[in-house]
Amino acid sequence: MFCLVVAISDGDTLTARCGAPGAYRPIKVRVAAIDAPETKQAFGTRSKQHLAQLCFRQKARLQPLTRDDYGRTVANVQCAGKDVAAAQVAAGMAWVYTPYAQQHPQLQPLQQRARSQRLGLWSQKRPKAPWTYRQRHRG
Helices (H), the chain: 44-55, 84-90, 107-116, 130-136
Positions marked active-site: 30, 38, 72
**Amino acid in position 14:** L
Integer CA distances (angstroms), 50 to 12, 18, 23, 37, 116, in order: 10, 22, 30, 12, 20
CA 91 – CA 50 distance, rounded (Å):
9
How many other C-beta atoms are found inside a 10 Å radius of the C-beta of residue 135? 9
